[in-house]
Structure 1
């Protein structure tokens, strides 16, 4: 046995000497091997895309960092076709027929590592919400607890509270109209969306409209969180070394105060109830129609169905995601109508005609907007088509057995997905796709209308993972915009100037500066 032992010792000694003598060449060789391995993966090597993207995901990271990834996606698919390899193990798909395949009820295409980054830390542990969890069983269990609160009938029970926000919003706009001051309407639309989230979630406004500012820096804080999630989400394996490092919770006990959304949510809850140091929720009013009241009632009657952790996780999700996406859509409607005066004139004429026929209440109701304002509804859909709130690939893992996608076999574990900015501009379904044309929704056949609607619905996700807050957003948009156009003439302060767009997962806009004139009937 001695010669064998000596041989092993000699080999180890030789290897050690090589590593010590040639560390840099060996390191370079390892990197080159990894890059080539990435590039020449079986079944993926033939998929077209940017050259560097096949070698390293840092190409995609850089693209996201520039803030225009949604435009890159459109350009790539127009150049390469329905399949584009945008990272070594990522394939972007442009064929809308795969929307119900990737985003279905079965959830056999599971979420990628991009999503868990966007969770909260509660009692020093990461707590997944309906959006961030990758576990289909956990998602189904949690959705059963809270899904009913987001149903359209239940949300419409809070329509009077939303009306109070709309009335306050109109009053604040009147101040600008009276003084003939230019107003950052984009910011005020987000203030409005935040206050509606407050009414629906906590039965009180969060102070954005009253104060006319970003309360507690929440909008800025969410922007920072989205920037981190957008960038780290391209290389999610590094999250555990960054803000997801479990050592932080041990070394920095106050770490949870870094999450401004959680702190803001706890503050809002404490305005109605009290949370003890151990995290227990006490004295919550269980009689109201808001979500805190509904869930507090469930908790008090059956703690096994709902606990304090559940309430905090889901309410914080409302705060995090409930204003940005709605505000983006509201800004898009205002901007594109101002840029297309002929469309604005049609919207205003339709509202005035409905008003003349006494079909509108003092404050436009959701039912009225969706039934007697068909052109406005078409405008809303078209704005959401042209400017979806989400600007990244909605990533999913191909099932273990692999799948044939657009005639190409894609191995199991590959990350695939669809970017709404790509499918919303499919010229075979939306002719002249870069043009804002609300009439397309009124001229389409019933079958075409359904096909188009199914595609833009991806703005809210799909299948069992469709955004539970979708109804809140739609109620807000269908109510506040007709009311605003009913009362005010809205024009861009600098009509020839383009707005600024930055994609940090949500495609945010700046530059909706407007002048308002009170309309006389």
Structure 2
């Protein structure tokens, strides 16, 4: 035994020195980050100054967007949120375009490169290079132009009618059993699920000319679950891209990588199916058919297949979840603020004598209180509530009066921006009137679709998708929150009890509200 010790002694000595050196390095790094780092002067949680793992923890909990707001309340408008990251709360950083505007000395964080679950082309979301992103966006815009969307609106309206028919059913397969049905009311319906089914069917049909009919049958509901798993993975990788190279993904999100890859493969199969039909001359007009033939007017290039797969995966995932969250949030707030529900309903019904008249256009745009309700719901519960990270390039950038050196990553939490009490009085209260009385002030701190050159390219589609659907639902039905504990599903906690609570997963994971519907004019 003694001989073994003598033999190992040199190795033990080296290991001891290695451990000591590692200990000294960690202590030295901590002291540097706390006191000598270029960002040391900015306040923030002490753990955030030392490690990015604090942000990963809140990402895993799903409350990262709320944590950013809490940090601003405690530390002020500029907070060091990670050793190399700073968040800003003022609208100058966002709407003032210091971070997200055109021509700024910033680029997307390199962490976006890590979010693609499969190797190959990047989507507009994961592309960092500005010129490459510009080419992709010019191509995407050809499929998502106002003219293209107008041609697709009849298909959208058909899906809206299918949604209304499902909401009219007294019982369904997605609600708790044994609910009492009385006075013409339906069972309580989980609008988080129904809004997901609706937006998924819209996206697959408008983009690929192929509805998977998740509104009618559960065969493809697993795809929506796969998409949410993919988003959960993205939310953690944008905070710490080293998670997967270190092999930690299996612990932080077990089983998610398989679902994310399956989601990508599903998108590839749908695109190839659409490409085959296009080659046979089926004549169908949808967004994908335009993207297959789109050419960049500057370079003359189209979408290579790997890039088209990536864009299709993004359109399905982001186009489903973000829009459905806005819809579910609006249902939540309207059923909890009866005066707002009555006023919005009366505005829609008095503007349109027939439900078939409800479509995008001037008449729907004239329903200003109705639109104010939608904007207020998106303010309180933005679909993407965290910060969209940007890396400051060499030479630095001045953000809200602060000179930030190159290499630092900056952002503004959208949820925090939307809850700035200097702009929004009683920020946790649903008050559509603020968009009618002080609209300009409110709009300056409102960014549900982001702003600048990286703003959501599908905003027009999303707005058409949820405004027409919500207007037709209000025209056709009376609605109310479910009674008892079921009616409280979706509520926040503490000082956020009146809010529709979502979990941060790059976009939003949600549950509820449970709503009952009754055909207007019902008489027992």
Determine if the alignment matches structure 1 residue 61 to structure 2 residue 51.
no
State the shift of 1:397 in Å: 1.1
Instruction: Work out the CA distance in 2 between the residues paired with 1:29 and 1:482.
Output: 63
Q: Cα deviations across residues 224-270 of structure 1 (Å, max 9, x unaligned)? A: 1122221232211333344999xxxxxxxxx9996122222233235
Question: Does the CA-based 8 Å contact 2:59-2:235 persist in structure 1?
Answer: yes
Aligned pairs for 1:95-174 within 5 A: 95-99=90-94, 100-106=97-103, 108-121=105-118, 125-174=119-168
State the shift of 1:482 in Å: 0.8
SS of the residue corresponding to residue 459 of structure 1 reads coil
Determine if the alignment matches structure 1 residue 52 to structure 2 residue 53.
no
Instruction: Work out the CA distance in 1 between the residues paired with 2:417 and 2:293.
Output: 42
Instruction: Work out the CA distance in 1 between the residues paired with 2:358 and 2:258.
Output: 41
Instruction: Work out the CA distance in 2 between the residues paired with 1:298 and 1:46.
Output: 49
Question: Does the CA-based 8 Å contact 1:395-1:416 persist in structure 2?
Answer: yes
Question: Does the CA-based 8 Å contact 1:82-1:406 persist in structure 2?
Answer: no
Determine if the alignment matches structure 1 residue 186 to structure 2 residue 189.
no
State the shift of 1:135 in Å: 0.8
Q: Cα deviations across residues 426-455 of structure 1 (Å, max 9, x unaligned)? A: 2222222111100111112xxxx2443343
1:207/1:402 CA distance change after superposition, 3 Å:
same
Instruction: Work out the CA distance in 2 between the residues paired with 1:307 and 1:430.
Output: 45
Q: Cα deviations across residues 73-99 of structure 1 (Å, max 9, x unaligned)? A: 111111211101111111110011121
Determine if the alignment matches structure 1 residue 209 to structure 2 residue 199.
no
Instruction: Work out the CA distance in 1 between the residues paired with 2:281 and 2:311.
Output: 17
Question: Does the CA-based 8 Å contact 1:19-1:26 persist in structure 2?
Answer: no
Match of 1:504 in 2: 505
Determine if the alignment matches structure 1 residue 492 to structure 2 residue 492.
no
Which of 337, 340, 343 aligns to 1:340? It is 337
Q: Cα deviations across residues 379-400 of structure 1 (Å, max 9, x unaligned)? A: 0111111111112111111231
SS of the residue corresponding to residue 49 of structure 1 reads coil
Aligned pairs for 1:382-393 within 5 A: 382-393=376-387
State the shift of 1:284 in Å: 5.5
SS of the residue corresponding to residue 84 of structure 1 reads strand
Match of 2:266 in 1: 264
Determine if the alignment matches structure 1 residue 453 to structure 2 residue 443.
yes
Match of 1:330 in 2: 327
Aligned pairs for 1:265-344 within 5 A: 265-274=267-276, 283=279, 285=281, 287-298=283-294, 304-344=301-341
Question: Does the CA-based 8 Å contact 1:286-1:296 persist in structure 2?
Answer: no
Instruction: Work out the CA distance in 1 between the residues paired with 2:189 and 2:402.
Output: 51
Instruction: Work out the CA distance in 2 between the residues paired with 1:195 and 1:185.
Output: 15
Question: Does the CA-based 8 Å contact 1:387-1:421 persist in structure 2?
Answer: yes
Match of 1:10 in 2: none
Match of 2:174 in 1: none
State the shift of 1:406 in Å: 3.7
SS of the residue corresponding to residue 460 of structure 1 reads coil
Between stretches 418-427 and 473-482, larger displacement belongs to 418-427
Between stretches 83-92 and 302-311, larger displacement belongs to 302-311
Match of 2:32 in 1: 37
Instruction: Work out the CA distance in 2 between the residues paired with 1:347 and 1:514.
Output: 17
Q: Which runs of 5+ in 1 are unaligned?
A: 1-14, 246-254, 275-280
Instruction: Work out the CA distance in 2 between the residues paired with 1:266 and 1:415.
Output: 33
1:314/1:369 CA distance change after superposition, 3 Å:
farther
State the shift of 1:16 in Å: 8.6
Q: Cα deviations across residues 120-152 of structure 1 (Å, max 9, x unaligned)? A: 52xxx3321001111111101112222121122
Question: Does the CA-based 8 Å contact 1:150-1:472 persist in structure 2?
Answer: yes
Q: Cα deviations across residues 53-110 of structure 1 (Å, max 9, x unaligned)? A: 1111111211222211111111111121110111111111001112112112225311
Instruction: Work out the CA distance in 2 between the residues paired with 1:493 and 1:310.
Output: 44
Match of 1:239 in 2: 244
Q: Which runs of 5+ in 2 are unaligned?
A: 1-9, 172-183, 251-256, 491-500
State the shift of 1:461 in Å: 2.0
Question: Does the CA-based 8 Å contact 2:139-2:294 persist in structure 1?
Answer: no
1:56/1:309 CA distance change after superposition, 3 Å:
closer
Question: Does the CA-based 8 Å contact 1:369-1:479 persist in structure 2?
Answer: no
Match of 2:4 in 1: none
State the shift of 1:310 in Å: 3.7
State the shift of 1:214 in Å: 6.6
1:244/1:133 CA distance change after superposition, 3 Å:
farther
TM-score by length of 1: 0.85
SS of the residue corresponding to residue 366 of structure 1 reads coil
Instruction: Work out the CA distance in 1 between the residues paired with 2:209 and 2:474.
Output: 27
Instruction: Work out the CA distance in 2 between the residues paired with 1:298 and 1:432.
Output: 47
1:505/1:52 CA distance change after superposition, 3 Å:
same
Between stretches 401-410 and 466-475, larger displacement belongs to 401-410
State the shift of 1:403 in Å: 2.8
Question: Does the CA-based 8 Å contact 1:369-1:482 persist in structure 2?
Answer: no
TM-score by length of 2: 0.85
Which of 209, 222, 227 aligns to 1:222? It is 227
State the shift of 1:221 in Å: 0.9
SS of the residue corresponding to residue 208 of structure 1 reads coil
Instruction: Work out the CA distance in 2 between the residues paired with 1:149 and 1:282.
Output: 15
